[in-house]
Amino acid sequence: MTAIGDSVMLDYAEPLSRDIPGIDIQAAVSRQWPAGEALVEQLKAQGRLGAVVIIGLGTNGPVTTADFDQMMADLQGASRVVFVTVHVDRPWQASVNSVLAAGAARYPRVVLADWYSLAQSHPGWLYADGTHLPIDGPGAQALAALVAAKA
Q: Based on the structure, what is the number of domains in the chain?
A: 1
Q: What CATH number is given to the structural domain containing 23? A: 3.40.50.1110
Tell me which amino acid residue 97 is: N
Q: Which residue range forms the structural domain that includes residue 95?
A: 2-150
Across 63-77, average pLDDT? 97
pLDDT, tens digit (0-9, with 9 covering 90-100), for 76-119: 999 999 999 999 999 999 999 999 999 999 999 999 999 999 99
Residues 44/74, Cβ–Cβ less than 8 Å = yes
Tell me 129's DSSP state: T
